[in-house]
Structure 1
């Protein structure tokens, strides 16, 4: 599939004091009102992104969520629909995966996709299928999920919301988007080093800040993105749980998930609003 990228993006410019480089999508994807970028992770020169679909007038059902693979060198990319396997009257098929997909982690040969109050889903990249356009809303490739990890909690404790995900060393870092008085916890989920699948329950690390959209932890230090509406630049917060410092006007409006590329020591994110959709990188040293 990575050798069959069918869309052409381009290098771009994006506002924000910390932005180093930026890329954007083709005209149709930049203005699309149905699909909204959310999660991000990086592997070498390939960026993986998740999008969720809004239900527009005339849509019978939501198209769920998709993952995009974007080659930073050629700026070519392709969308792959995330699906659930189905079996109806003995006939196998697929159905859209209806999740917000606010965070993404590319761990080994697995993708972990945030599902908010439901927990998160996992898919294996080797399971990508080439299908006819008629079976998947016009998509040539689909990626079936194989496991759901359901959010749970003890009696009297609010279930953790998997608003976004990132890598925390060999484990997952989970965070909650929160407005008003809702909880804004950060938690670590251990992954098996061999399988890259969860091996235990979440461990709450402390609180983040309101309107968090993504967070990573590098050398014990947290980096979190926050959004401030469609017309105001976003912020990056750094520090430890409960003691984060705000860097104003650091990133474009509408920032979403956040990831860290260990090889280049850069932070990466994506923005969601139509006509203001960028993939962008930041030097982590800018926040020192």
Structure 2
């Protein structure tokens, strides 16, 4: 399958048993230059698509660039789109953010920019760049990288009174998506906060906070809400991730483990899956867990 601009989609291995596992069939399975972080779902050209954000760093762990891999869930192929910033004079620079979480609403892609609020990108205006500009937006040096790349450009920066480590969606009790997001903080001491915000509709509006709480869970990596049920991911270094679920004031540890080095969460209620992903090299997987295995009716 070809992208409308002519770029080729790259394959992803999909395995189904108790979970749906997607694995990268390339160097991104082990590279220490790029790390996967955020996840969400949407429609791309009318097809159900999974979006996975990545950030690039150098050996000093400085952020160099970020991108989103769009995975066609039916055909198990993906395509990369780099994230970029317009300097105001029409020149593009790489989006040097951690991209710890995603929330996808129509053509609007919101990305958690740790310590820098929420950045919004326009998916209706995907651009194709070439040569040195493509390499620079990917944070690459030299001539060994691709000749062309697809780019989404930032349209707004939304200031938020939280660290903005991750970003998740909100659904009502019937499973209908709401125009709200969960924004949370990664803290190793358990002081991280989670806020719920209504997303802005107009160009002069900002995120409007609806709620905020501190569950007392260290190393939180993602949060989503379905009715009065909350799901929170917790990383545990090189051990399997932990999933907390339940009502806000009574979160319980689920017996099902998340991937090692787990990150963000995304609810796919159409398919009946809770998605997460692992970031560590050689252990990278994008995993969909059937929600009927999570004991949510207890």
Give your verdict on TM over 0.5: yes
> 2: distance between equivalents of 1:278 and 1:2?
24
Question: Over the residues paired in the alignment, what is the CA RMSD in angstroms?
Answer: 2.4
Q: Tell me: CA distance 1:272–1:161, structure 2 relative to 1, closer, same or farther (3 Å).
A: same
Map 1:77-88; keep pairs closer than 5 Å. 77-87=78-88
Cα distance 1:37–1:187, how it changes in 2: closer, same or farther (>3 A)?
same
Instruction: Report what 1:184 is aligned to.
Output: 192
- Following superposition, the deviation at residue 134 of structure 1 comes to 2.1
Residue 277 of structure 1 deviates from its aligned partner by 0.9
Distance 1:240 1:62 in 2: 36
**Structure-1 residue corresponding to 2:164:** 162
Judged with a 3 Å threshold, the aligned counterparts in structure 2 of structure 1 residues 133 and 9 are, in CA distance, closer, same or farther, namely farther
Q: Distance in 1 between matches of 2:30 and 2:228?
A: 38
Within a 5 Å distance, the mapping from 1:2-41 to structure 2 comes to 2-3=3-4, 4-12=7-15, 20-41=19-40
- Contact 1:35 / 1:54 at 8 angstroms: preserved in 2? yes
Match of 2:97 in 1: 99
- Mapping 1:1-288, distance limit 5 Å: 2-3=3-4, 4-12=7-15, 20-43=19-42, 45-56=48-59, 62-87=63-88, 92-137=90-135, 138=146, 139-152=148-161, 160-168=162-170, 169-180=178-189, 183-192=191-200, 199-208=206-215, 209-230=217-238, 232-248=239-255, 250-288=257-295
- How many residue pairs get aligned? The number is 269
Higher relative contact order (CA 8 A, sep 6+): 1
The SS at the match of 1:256 is: coil
TM-score normalized by structure 2? 0.83
CA 1:265–1:195: 2 relative to 1, 3 Å: farther
User: What displacement does 1:210 show?
Assistant: 1.3
CA distance in 2, matches of 1:251, 1:146: 33
- Using the alignment, how far apart are the partners of 1:266 and 1:13 within structure 2? 12
1:188-217 Cα deviation digits (max 9, x unpaired): 11125x669964432333113211111110
TM-score, length basis structure 1? 0.85
8 Å CA contact 2:42, 2:106 repeated in 1: no
What 5-or-longer segments of structure 1 have no aligned partner? 153-159
